[in-house]
Amino acid sequence: MGRKIFKEEHQIFRESFGKFLEIEVVPFIEKWEHEGIVPKEVWRKMGENGFLCPWLEEKYGGSNAGYEYSVVINEELSYVGANGLLAGLHSDIIVPYLHAFGNEEQKMRWLPGCASGDIITAVAMTEPGTGSDLAAMRATAVREGNEYVINGQKTFISNGINCDLVVLAVKTDTKASPPFKGISLICVEDGTPGFEKGRNLDKMGLHSQDTAELNFVDCRVPASNLLGKEGQGFYFLMKKLQGERLIASIMAQSMAEAMLKMTIKYSKERTVFGKPISSFQHNTFKIVEMATEIELGRALLDSLIADYIAGEDIVMKVSMAKAWIPEMANRVAYHCVQLHGGYGYMEEYPICRFARDVRVIPIFAGTTEVMKVIVGRMMEL
């Protein structure tokens, strides 16, 4: 593959996972798109084959594998367009909260199910009136004896319908100054009285990804479901958001590579005025420009992944990547649809779905604009 972060065992794993996707996922993508959800049974099959949380220690049901395996899984899912199956969100964004900040009792209670696919996770931060401004959240958790009483609403929650366990960001101290010091993370299990799953939201893309509203009305959970200590939630979120932004960048980069590949194939086969559309100079130049940008994105991303694996501080670099790679992928999507002509607007061609799905990546995990603010502050501008 020519990528220094991977070895032969990773390539063998990639081939194995690719075969799994060919059998268990790819034939059903369109069906799941129409149904608006990926069946839970698919998650369990992922778990049975070791494709969920491969980095977890064996005592928690994992394989104690390196992050390279998570990269392979996320890339391959995006290459085939199975973006509704957000295994990366579960395995590499949410479960790390439990692993890093949970106590041993919590980890033994939840992590094995996360690895097997019996527990699907969601993280609930965004509220109807607050997006990137987490300090402005209004959901509250009031301590009453050995319980927390939770009230509030969350929206745009990925895995919101399927989730068995939600890592919920709430205010446990509404008078804290500054406000972010009052935020805590509390785990809420599906079926808890007062925890209500709202509608499966109708989105531009990612149709098979269940994105929902979650409501909490006098929802009582054991105080033992608190992750870490009260008031540490914002710190936990900031620490783990870097991993989320890396996964988002991996998704966007992989989708850009897949879109270019399918477009080159199409533009070589499709003829206009007696010759392939790829041979017209304007189109040739456009394809070359896209290929160059994709190559630049891959170089940045692989360097970033290597730094992350090495345990280096990636806050600035991952913010740059999250600001640039998803925007690049959307430029690629636009031009690839254009090169497909009218067929690019037809759902029967994968480019149509890819173009819809990739549009959200510059928005979630922190918008492009927020990423630029972070980088600007780090540059002391």
pLDDT tens by residue, 12-37:
999 999 999 999 999 999 999 999 99
Q: How confident is the model at residue 131 (pLDDT cuts 50, 70, 90)?
A: low
Q: How confident is the model at residue 62 (pLDDT cuts 50, 70, 90)?
A: very high
Mean pLDDT over 278-304 rounds to 98
The pLDDT tens digits of the residues spanning 136-175 come to: 799 999 999 999 999 999 999 999 999 999 999 999 999 8
d(CA 217, CA 110): 24
Q: Could you tell me which residues are beta bridge partners of residue 200?
A: 212
Q: For this structure, is 244 an active site residue?
A: yes
The pLDDT tens digits of the residues spanning 183-230 come to: 999 999 999 999 999 999 999 999 999 999 999 999 999 999 999 999
What SS3 state is found at 183? strand
- Of all residues in the chain, what percent carry a pLDDT higher than 70? 99
Residue 90 tokens read as 């579960």
d(CA 52, CA 40): 13
What is the pLDDT at residue 1?
45
Q: How confident is the model at residue 310 (pLDDT cuts 50, 70, 90)?
A: very high
**Cβ(45)–Cβ(24) under 8 Å?**
yes
Please name the amino acid found at residue 166: V
Domains in the chain with CATH codes: 8-119 (1.10.540.10), 122-230 (2.40.110.10), 235-378 (1.20.140.10)
Q: Residue 216: enclosing H or E segment and its boundaries?
A: strand 211-222
**Cβ(201)–Cβ(176) under 8 Å?**
no
Q: How confident is the model at residue 132 (pLDDT cuts 50, 70, 90)?
A: low
Catalytic residue among 127, 230, 244, 293: 244
Q: What is the average pLDDT value for the chain, to the nearest integer?
A: 95
Mean pLDDT over 324-338 rounds to 98
Residue 14 tokens read as 């990639």
